Amino acid sequence: MAATKRILCVVGARPNFMKIAPIMRALRADDVPLEAVLLHTGQHYDDAMKRSFFEQLDIPEPDIDLEVGSGSHAVQTAQIMQRFEPVLDEHRPDMVLVVGDVNSTIACALVAVKKGIPIVHVEAGLRSGDRGMPEEINRILTDQLSDLLFTTERSAHANLHKEGIAEERIRFAGNVMIDTLRHNLDKATPAAQTLPEGIQAGESYGLLTLHRPSNVDDPAVLGRLLETLAEISQTVPLVFPVHPRTRQRIHDAGLDGLLATTRIFTLPPLGYLEMLGLMKDARVVLTDSGGIQEETTALGVPCITLRENTERPITVNEGTNTVVGTSPEKILASFRDVMSTGGKAGRVPEYWDGHAAERIAKVLVDWLGAGEAARHAAG
């Protein structure tokens, strides 16, 4: 009798959680003949960065938690690798599934490939062209190691071909992050419940996030950005849920005082439903996040990206995103444009339809021959 095929799914950091939620749901659906095991590396561990996402997004409790926690890139990656290897020996999955571009993604892929276990990468082929970004290194290497690569936009296929990855390994699935957005839109927390006291009911506001090392690690860059954002906040108040690393950098750079004098209102990191509620009603979103560029495009909300590049060009070519970099003049010009025109109209990209994870599950069943195994078992 053929055994049920087992797929081990890996999550580690906040942006992974909204990707894995629909994948686990699709893989554990009654009519999918696969066994899906969930592993959390522990890269993001505290309540604000992890627990609230598991609860709000109905992610099943991880079957395995490596509990690695924070550390330098080398330490974090090495610890995940060391702790992941015995898990593979014990659970013997037929495939390892990784998502996105965080340290947990590359660490687990690297261990699996050396053990001869096939790897599937969800959100493959995105490239910013900027090798100074740790995520870019993680993307390139994970794609090289993967047997099956699911993409969110067609531009990713050309990137993968350039790197020698054959078309037959690539599948266009759409965007699992947008599966989560569509699944939860009705449950989003009304903005009024999250907005800080300094913003009146009904007043327009902007939503701000910042956490990329290139924006927050250098006190001069961070200071200049916050001064520009302070100027914007005189026109539209900004709500700023602050990532832990950014909170630390603002403090280290002695910039707490600057923030206190502006209409930038800081909040602790928010849960998914609170963030979604704020995003959908924002007049404008200013961010250096990858996922938020996609979510604003899906929601039709204007997005100003405070980076020199994007690995998600479809959000610019079809969506509501404008990549402006970090020069004060460009940020202010783009902001004024959004205020006067309402921003780009945009349209929702192909297959950002809420069904990407189901498409992925179907391909995995075929790829692993799991349907056949189940039929054998039944017969």
Q: Using the Cα atoms of residue 143, residue 148, residue 150 and residue 151 in order, give the sign of their dihedral.
A: positive
Q: What are the tokens at 297?
A: 């495009």
Part in contact with ligand UD1 (CB under 6 A); list of ranges 99-107, 113-121, 178-186, 320-328? 99-107
Cα dihedral: 259, 263, 264, 266 (round 10): 90
Question: What is the distance of C-alpha 131 from the center of its chain?
Answer: 18
C-alpha to C-alpha distance for 315 and 196, rounded to whole angstroms: 29
* Bridge partner list, 11: 40
Question: Can you give the length of the chain in residues?
Answer: 379
Among 6, 45, 60, 259, indicate the residue that binds ligand UD1 (CB under 6 A).
Answer: 45
Nearer to ligand UD1, 46 or 55 (CB): 46
Q: What are the tokens at 74?
A: 């080398």
Indicate whether 172 belongs to the interface with ligand UD1 (CB under 6 A): no
Please count the residues of this chain forming the interface with ligand UD1, following the rule CB under 6 A: 19
Part in contact with ligand UD1 (CB under 6 A); list of ranges 11-19, 29-37, 223-231, 256-264? 11-19
Part in contact with ligand UD1 (CB under 6 A); list of ranges 101-109, 112-120, 163-171, 297-305? 101-109
Nearer to ligand UD1, 14 or 25 (CB): 14
Nearer to ligand UD1, 101 or 179 (CB): 101
Outline where the chain has alpha helix (H): 14-27, 52-56, 73-91, 103-114, 134-145, 155-162, 176-184, 191-194, 213-216, 219-235, 244-252, 256-260, 272-281, 290-299, 314-317, 328-341, 356-367, 370-378
161 catalytically annotated = no
Q: Give the DSSP letter string of 142-200.
A: HHHH-SEEEESSTHHHHHHHHTT--GGGEEE---HHHHHHHHHGGGPPPHHHHS-TTS-
Among 5, 19, 25, 44, indicate the residue that binds ligand UD1 (CB under 6 A).
Answer: 44
- CB atoms closer than 10 angstroms to residue 345: 10
Under DSSP, is residue 246 helix (H, G, I), strand (E, B) or coil? helix
Please report, as residue ranges, which positions from 216 to 255 form the binding site for ligand UD1 (by CB under 6 A).
243-245
Nearer to ligand UD1, 71 or 328 (CB): 71
Among 211, 280, 307, 312, indicate the residue that binds ligand UD1 (CB under 6 A).
Answer: 211
Indicate whether 43 belongs to the interface with ligand UD1 (CB under 6 A): yes
Indicate whether 297 belongs to the interface with ligand UD1 (CB under 6 A): no
Nearer to ligand UD1, 49 or 78 (CB): 49
Indicate whether 270 belongs to the interface with ligand UD1 (CB under 6 A): no
Indicate whether 13 belongs to the interface with ligand UD1 (CB under 6 A): yes
Nearer to ligand UD1, 262 or 321 (CB): 321
CB 101 within 8 A of CB 135: yes
Question: What is the phi-psi region of residue 207: left when phi exceeds 0, alpha when psi lies from -120 to 50, beta otherwise?
Answer: beta
Among the listed residues 44, 121, 211, 243, the single catalytic one is: 211
The distance of closest approach from Cβ of residue 291 to ligand UD1 in the complex, given in angstroms and rounded to an integer, is 8
Among 81, 95, 102, 177, indicate the residue that binds ligand UD1 (CB under 6 A).
Answer: 102
Among 56, 79, 103, 228, indicate the residue that binds ligand UD1 (CB under 6 A).
Answer: 103
CB 323 within 8 A of CB 309: yes
Among 3, 67, 70, 377, indicate the residue that binds ligand UD1 (CB under 6 A).
Answer: 70
User: What is the binding site for ligand UD1 (CB under 6 A)?
Assistant: 13-15, 43-46, 49-50, 70, 101-103, 134-135, 211, 243-245
Which residues are marked as active site?
211
